[in-house]
Amino acid sequence: MTATLFLRLAAFTYLLGAAGFMVYLIRRNDQAARVATWIIGAGFGLHGLSILLRALASGQLPVLDLIGALGFFAWTLAGVYLVLYWRFGLLILGVFASPLILALVLGAAIIPPGPPQIAPILKSLWLTLHLGTVFTGYAFFGLAFGAGLMYLLQERQIKGKRTGTVYRRLPSLGILDDMNNYCLAIGFPMMTLGIITGAIYAQLTLGTYWRWDPKEVWSLVLWLVYAALLHQRLAVGWRGRRAAIMAVIGFTVLCFTFMGVSLWLPSYHSFESLRQMRVQ
């Protein structure tokens, strides 16, 4: 229950953070955004504590049901936002990230958690690694998507000679493209590691590395999209608009892989089958 308390506290701090970013957006007060970033940092700490407590109680990262997965994704997003803030100092990204974090964590905080018992098969360090790396990768891709959207918007302003409010508020194309590159450079290896550790775990527990399960297929598609983007970036020097569009496409596939497959397609990765494993 302490975990729930921490989660609610975290949700509240994220709310404050998001409010700070709205103040920043409307009143153009950079100080508000900096304070909000600190608040998000505090929320990240509280949220981390709540996740840690849950993980200790159940023996596995609390991501095996929808609520847990949403919350954990919010947590990794907050972490990646902080990393990107430290690396690029872009306050405007918080305007995009903080409401997303808030929405995810509110979903997770309002719904009461299910029973913490987890099937013994799911208590494995390999699975923890699998989940941790996949979610970190997702979070980087998520913010690459945010940067990509801002890039496309800003490029439209500049090419269309519209130098109004949107143009002024958005960061430079150069920084947005750098951010896209940076997120890809970390997100892609994370995702790769996630697939590898998942395969090893599957081999250890199910006896096969790969079962062409819908989740696995879609993850492969996702991996290929980002691999293509990375390849084009490195080999041909793709950048800017095309890279931004790819990041947006990649994230759309990601959302489907993350939510759609887990909820609607018959897959042993789905929350439903994970739940049944728990009941067994």
Partner 1 sequence: MNIVLVGLNHRTAPVELRERLAMDACAPEQAYHDILNRTDFGESIYLSTCNRVEILAATDDMDEAVTQIKSFLASARGLDVETFEDALYVMETREAVRHVFRVASSLDSMVLGEPQILGQLKAAFREAVDNKATGPILNKLMHKSFSTAKRVRTETGVASHAVSISFAAVELARKIFGDLAGRKVLLVGAGEMAELAAEHLRAQGASDIIVANRTLERAVELASRWRGRAAALGELPALLVEADVVVSSTGAPDVVISAEAVRSVLRARRHRPLFFVDIAVPRDVDPAVNRLDNVYLYDIDDLRSVVEENRAAREEEAVRAERIVDEETIKFLGWMETLEVVPTIVALKDKAEHIRRAELSRTLSKLDSEDPDLRRSIEILTESLTHKLLHDPIMFVKNAGRRPKKDFYLDLTRRIFNLNGEAGPKSGTEEKE
| Residue number with CB closer to partner 1 (7 or 84) | 84
Task: Give the nearest distance from C-beta 26 to partner 1 in angstroms.
Answer: 12
User: Is 1 a residue that touches partner 1 (CB under 8 A)?
Assistant: no
By CB under 8 A, name the one of 178, 196, 199, 277 that touches partner 1.
178
Q: Which stretch binds partner 1 (CB under 8 A): 53-61, 139-147, 171-179, 215-223?
A: 171-179
| Residue number with CB closer to partner 1 (123 or 242) | 242
# chain residues binding partner 1, by CB under 8 A? 25
Binding to partner 1, residues 182-241 (CB under 8 A) = 236-241
What's the burial of 44, exposed, middle or buried (CB within 10 Å: 0-12/13-18/19+)? Answer: buried
User: Is 20 a residue that touches partner 1 (CB under 8 A)?
Assistant: no
Task: Give the nearest distance from C-beta 180 to partner 1 in angstroms.
Answer: 13
User: Is 280 a residue that touches partner 1 (CB under 8 A)?
Assistant: no
| Residue number with CB closer to partner 1 (238 or 256) | 238
| Residue number with CB closer to partner 1 (166 or 206) | 166
User: Is 152 a residue that touches partner 1 (CB under 8 A)?
Assistant: no
Residues 94/35, Cβ–Cβ less than 8 Å: no
- Taking the C-alpha atoms of residue 186 and residue 8, their distance in angstroms, rounded to an integer, is 30
| Residue number with CB closer to partner 1 (84 or 261) | 84
User: Is 27 a residue that touches partner 1 (CB under 8 A)?
Assistant: yes
Q: Which stretch binds partner 1 (CB under 8 A): 3-11, 132-140, 160-168, 205-213?
A: 160-168
User: Is 174 a residue that touches partner 1 (CB under 8 A)?
Assistant: yes
| Residue number with CB closer to partner 1 (164 or 207) | 164
Residues 6/32, Cβ–Cβ less than 8 Å: no
| Residue number with CB closer to partner 1 (168 or 212) | 168
User: Is 98 a residue that touches partner 1 (CB under 8 A)?
Assistant: no
- Taking the C-alpha atoms of residue 236 and residue 257, their distance in angstroms, rounded to an integer, is 28
